[in-house]
């Protein structure tokens, strides 16, 4: 396994792999790897010959006052996990090489980036789309793998790839959950014991919503209300949004008559958490 910092060097490695006819997969991450990331790597391994995993805590997707400085950085254990899973190249770019002085281009993905989390995190998805496009341009993979926990991020990347004719296959991988159903996230480490125990309400809320949907209810407000009831019972949880949207555009649906996702974001004192369930 190679650990590469420089853009030129990773491009050279990509060229060598290509010349050998290898199929290349990119797994973009911000590090602090957990079992969810391991699933992304395994999917990449299954579908390709050369797996590149990038680790970069991307400053342009954090707003001032967000957790850029405190975001967990665990490079040594990340390297061990990558080695164990057979990653071929870890790409840990240097911020000043990715964003040199004078850098000014930003990708605006339009309305889809302003919905759901985009409403409370203005500019976040522009930052995500810009770094992902840069990583795709640098590594030119055949496929790029993302977790479905960040459902909006996945939809936005699919939109950008379609709109800009990137010609990379975008693959979404199912969310990996803790024993109580809480979605794996690097930010779960911010929760204290009481908050962690409350956080199990998120998967329960999704479960209550799915159950109602599966019983035949198609009115979004009733399905949302079922999820909200579970979350409102937890005093440490402050609901930011619970919405049912069409899976591709993320346009809100009053009636669930298309492939849909129920997405939610909540705030606990220690962390903001998101989760979702597909309804179809
Ligand atoms: O999901 C993440 O970890 C990040 O948003 C990503 C896709 C690596 C871009 O920085």
The CATH number of the domain holding residue 31 is 3.40.50.620
> For residue range 117-134, what is the model confidence (pLDDT) as tens digits?
999 999 999 999 999 999
Domain that holds residue 200: 186-275
Query: For residue 180, is it within any domain?
Result: no
> For residue range 227-280, what is the model confidence (pLDDT) as tens digits?
999 999 999 999 999 999 999 999 999 999 999 999 999 999 999 999 999 999
Q: What is the mean pLDDT of the chain?
A: 98
Query: For residue 178, is it within any domain?
Result: no
Query: For residue 280, is it within any domain?
Result: no
Stretch 34-57: mean pLDDT: 98
**12 shares its domain with 36:** yes
Tell the residue nearest (CA) to atom 6 of ligand 1: 29
Query: How many Å apart are CA 181 and CA 38, to the nearest integer?
Result: 17
In the 8-state DSSP scheme, what is residue 79?
H
- Of 151, 173, 195, the residue that ends a domain is 173
Tell the residue nearest (CA) to atom 5 of ligand 1: 128
Residue 144: partners with Cβ closer than 8 Å, 6 or more residues away: 25, 26, 27, 28, 132, 136, 157, 168, 169, 170, 171
Parallel, antiparallel, or unpaired: how do β-strands 143-147 and 169-173 relate? parallel
Question: What pTM value is reported for the model?
Answer: 0.97
Helix axes 151-163 and 124-139, enclosed angle (nearest 10):
60
3-class DSSP state of 67: coil
61 Cβ below 6 A of ligand 1: yes
Distance 76 CA to ligand 1 centre (A): 19
> For residue range 253-264, what is the model confidence (pLDDT) as tens digits?
999 999 999 999
> For residue range 162-205, what is the model confidence (pLDDT) as tens digits?
999 999 999 999 999 999 999 999 999 999 999 999 999 999 99
Query: How many Å apart are CA 228 and CA 93, to the nearest integer?
Result: 41
Torsion sign over Cα 237, 241, 245, 247: negative
The CATH number of the domain holding residue 250 is 3.30.1300.10
28 Cβ below 6 A of ligand 1: yes
Query: Among candidates 73, 74, 78, 91, which has minimal Cα distance to 136?
Result: 91
Query: For residue 179, is it within any domain?
Result: no
CB atoms closer than 10 angstroms to residue 53: 27
């Amino acid at each position: 396994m190679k650990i590469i910092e420089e853009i030129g060097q990773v491009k050279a490695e990509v060229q060598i792999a290509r010349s050998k006819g290898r199929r290349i997969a990119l797994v973009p991450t911000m590090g602090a790897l957990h079992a969810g990331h391991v699933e992304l790597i395994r999917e990449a391994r299954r579908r390709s010959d050369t797996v590149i995993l990038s680790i970069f805590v991307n400053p342009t997707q954090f707003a001032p006052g967000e957790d850029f400085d405190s975001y967990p950085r665990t490079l040594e254990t990340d390297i061990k996990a990558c080695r164990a899973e057979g990653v071929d190249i870890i790409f840990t770019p240097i911020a000043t090489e990715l964003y040199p002085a004078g850098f000014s281009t930003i990708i605006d993905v339009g309305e889809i980036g302003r919905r759901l989390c985009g409403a409370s995190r203005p500019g976040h998805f522009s930052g995500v789309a810009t770094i992902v496009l840069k990583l795709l341009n640098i590594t030119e993979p055949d496929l790029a793998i993302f977790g479905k926990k960040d459902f909006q991020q996945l939809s936005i990347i699919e939109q950008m790839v379609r709109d800009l004719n990137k010609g990379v296959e975008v693959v979404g991988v199912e969310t990996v959950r803790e024993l109580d159903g809480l979605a794996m996230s690097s930010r779960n480490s911010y929760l204290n014991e009481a908050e962690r125990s409350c956080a199990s309400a998120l998967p329960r809320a999704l479960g209550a919503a799915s159950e109602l949907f599966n019983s035949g209810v198609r009115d979004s407000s009733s399905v949302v209300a079922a999820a909200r009831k579970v979350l409102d019972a937890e005093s440490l949880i402050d609901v930011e949004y619970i919405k049912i949207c069409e899976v591709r555009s993320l346009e809100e649906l009053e009636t669930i008559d298309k492939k849909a996702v129920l997405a939610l974001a909540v705030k606990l004192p220690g962390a903001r958490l998101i989760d979702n369930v597909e309804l179809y």
